[in-house]
């Protein structure tokens, strides 16, 4: 009777895939936060410009 041996190649592959998914998620969230900050700055700049300009037609 054989005992189940651990397939270390499959374990290493699983660890690499999990690490890649975590890295991808962190990269996505970091980029998303930078995009949000950029958008907020753009919106603030646009609202400042619209307050300083002459009134336009409503």
Q: What angle do CA 5, 7, 9 make, to 5 degrees?
A: 160
* 5-22: pLDDT as tens digits: 889 999 999 999 999 999
Q: What angle do CA 21, 15, 7 make, to 5 degrees?
A: 145
Q: Is the pLDDT of residue 58 over 70?
A: no
* 21-49: pLDDT as tens digits: 999 999 999 999 999 999 999 999 988 87
Write down the pTM of the prediction. Answer: 0.60
């Amino acid at each position: 009777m054989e005992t189940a041996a651990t397939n270390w190649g499959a374990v290493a592959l699983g660890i690499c895939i999990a690490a890649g998914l975590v890295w991808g998620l962190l990269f996505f969230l970091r980029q998303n936060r930078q995009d949000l900050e950029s958008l907020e700055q753009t919106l603030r700049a646009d609202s400042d410009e619209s307050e300083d300009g002459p009134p336009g037609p409503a």
